[in-house]
Structure 1
């Protein structure tokens, strides 16, 4: 049983050694250890507060970014709608302009055709009139009774042919 119960001398000396080490640690080591622990606790608390603040700021920024993206989508939709309306308007105006130009060209062409038709009719009438006159002249000349008149008629016709006039 001696092994289980320490002797009183060992107990006292162990207690004295413990108290000496305790007081030395209290005087020299306890304050720096506590101040280091307090600093570390403060740094951890500051880091947690900073992390929370950054988390809140990130959430705000995310919300702002989503709002900006939604606004940009809406503006894009409006711009696309306006561009489509402008395109449709330009196409419509171009079609109208093309119709007006086509109608103008058609009217001008019809007027030109009518003018050329009238000119052709006038030429035909003049040509027919000239032919009638020439035929009448020729008929009258042939009806001339004498031989000398017929010879003169033949010479006259030959002269007209050589001068380039058509009979």
Structure 2
């Protein structure tokens, strides 16, 4: 039963030991422990503030990035539109130049054909004249004396020659 009811001396010395320990802890350990706890609490609060600031900055940067992306898309669309207009204009100019050059070449070919035709006609006329002279020469050689035969021969030769 001694364990259940302590003696007065044990209670006294236990109380004295507790008070001495409490005094020593209050004097030497309490302030550093509380300082460390306060420092840790301030560090955590600063970290939370910094994290919140970083979160706000990240949101701001995200918004800026979205705005920049929208602007870049608009600029890209403008550049593509301008490039398409320039491409269409270049193609149109090239087609027009090709048509003009084709028409010019056709006209040159037409002039060349007409020139060649005129040259050929002149050549044919020269050949006809030459043939006429040959016919006349033959007529004169064969029948120089008889006029009726000469007329008949010229008519016959003219019928044979066809242009």
| Residue 33 of structure 2 corresponds to residue 36 of structure 1 | no
TM superposition score normalised by structure 1: 0.82
Structure 2 equivalent of residue 122 of structure 1? 122
State how many pairs are aligned.
Answer: 145
Question: What is the rounded CA distance, in whole Å, between the counterparts of 2:82 and 2:48 in structure 1?
Answer: 50
CA distance in 2, matches of 1:139, 1:40: 142
Distance 2:9 2:136 in 1: 178
Secondary structure of the residue aligned to 1:68 is helix
Gapped runs of 5+ residues in structure 1?
146-167
Aligned to 2:7: 7
Quick check: 1:47 aligned with 2:47?
A: yes
1:42-77 CA-to-partner distances (Å, cap 9, x unmatched) read 111111111111111111111111111111111111
Mapped to 1, the partners of 2:3 and 2:29 lie a distance apart of 35
TM-score (norm. length: structure 2) = 0.84
Deviation at 1:3, TM superposition (A): 3.2
- CA distance in structure 1 between the partners assigned to 2:132 and 2:92 by the alignment: 59
Name the structure, 1 or 2, with higher relative contact order (CA <8 Å, separation 6+): 2
Task: Find the counterpart in structure 1 of residue 84 from structure 2.
Answer: 84
Alpha-carbon RMSD across the aligned residues, in angstroms, is 1.2
Could you list the structure 1 runs, at least 4 aligned residues long, displaced by more than 4 angstroms after superposition. none
Unaligned runs of 5+ in 2: 146-163
Following superposition, the deviation at residue 4 of structure 1 comes to 2.4
